[in-house]
Structure 1
Amino acid sequence: MDTLQTINDVPVLMCAAEGGTIAGEREALDFIGNASYQGAEWAVIPVERFDEAFFRLSTRVAGEIIQKFVQYRVGIVVLGDISRHTAASPALRDFVRECNRGRQTWFLAGTEELRERLTRGSA
């Protein structure tokens, strides 16, 4: 079950690890709608919820999904270990590094890292 939490005065929708797979724009819009409805500024989605195609940049799935979040002004956090994906793809590793420099899309290992990010006022 998805839960709305406030972390350092920032409303965050913590999405459950169980549930449907995010494979494209349609599923992304469902998450965006839920986050917006609940008043969340960020949607935190466990890595397990993403289709494998998300981590292959050549499919453009990641770009399509992230673009929807940007368009609707909801931050997205991909939460969990993606090391097997980044080890296999220098392009993905670079993409993750660039995203993590920004203020809209983060790839984070755990909730403690999320708390630190939101504490620093990066949100």
Structure 2
Amino acid sequence: MKIIKLQNEEIARIVSDEVSIKDTQTLLDIVMGVQYETGYRQIIVDKATILEAFFDLKTKLLGEAFQKLVIYQQRLAIIGDYSSYVSKSWQDYMFESNKGNNVYFVATELEAVEKLKR
């Protein structure tokens, strides 16, 4: 885990070379583990650490996981390339999520920090 320090807050950046988020429970285990260890409620992860099935809206994994994040007042930014997801439903989902306050789909760590520091 890497810590990104801002003026008034800190953000945890999960660093991993493998797919470590395979379902809703593993996502919750990771974010709640970070909160327990550090007290941080703002987390950045790389898209590559999340099972690809999460990004298929038909599986409902994203919606289920993100609903839990909202309940537990966690904020998450996922860094990655989303250009291969071209369906209108995916684009709408990402657009609405990025307008909200809990989960963001961004391309860079800088964008993630900008979204989470608001």
Q: Which residue of 1 aligns with 2:84?
A: 84
Counterpart CA distance in 1 for 2:78 and 2:49 is: 9
Aligned residues: 117
Q: Which residue of 2 aligns with 1:9?
A: 8
Q: Which residue of 2 aligns with 1:116?
A: 114
Q: Any unmatched runs of 5+ in structure 1? A: none
**Identity fraction in percent:** 26
Normalised by the length of structure 1, the TM-score is 0.84
Correspondence list, 1:12-27, <5 A: 12-27=11-26
Normalised by the length of structure 2, the TM-score is 0.88
Q: Which whole-Å deviations, capped at 9, do the CAs of 1:36-75 have from their partners, x for residues lacking one?
A: 1211121111000111111110100111111121111110
Counterpart CA distance in 1 for 2:31 and 2:9 is: 16
Q: Which residue of 2 aligns with 1:39?
A: 39
Q: For 2:21, give the aligned amino acid.
A: I
2:19, 2:48 within 8 Å by CA — same for their partners in 1? no
Question: What is the CA RMSD across the aligned residues, in angstroms?
Answer: 1.6
Q: Which residue of 1 aligns with 2:69?
A: 69
1:4, 1:40 within 8 Å by CA — same for their partners in 2? no
Q: CA 1:78 to 1:118, structure 2 compared with 1: closer, same or farther past 3 Å?
A: closer
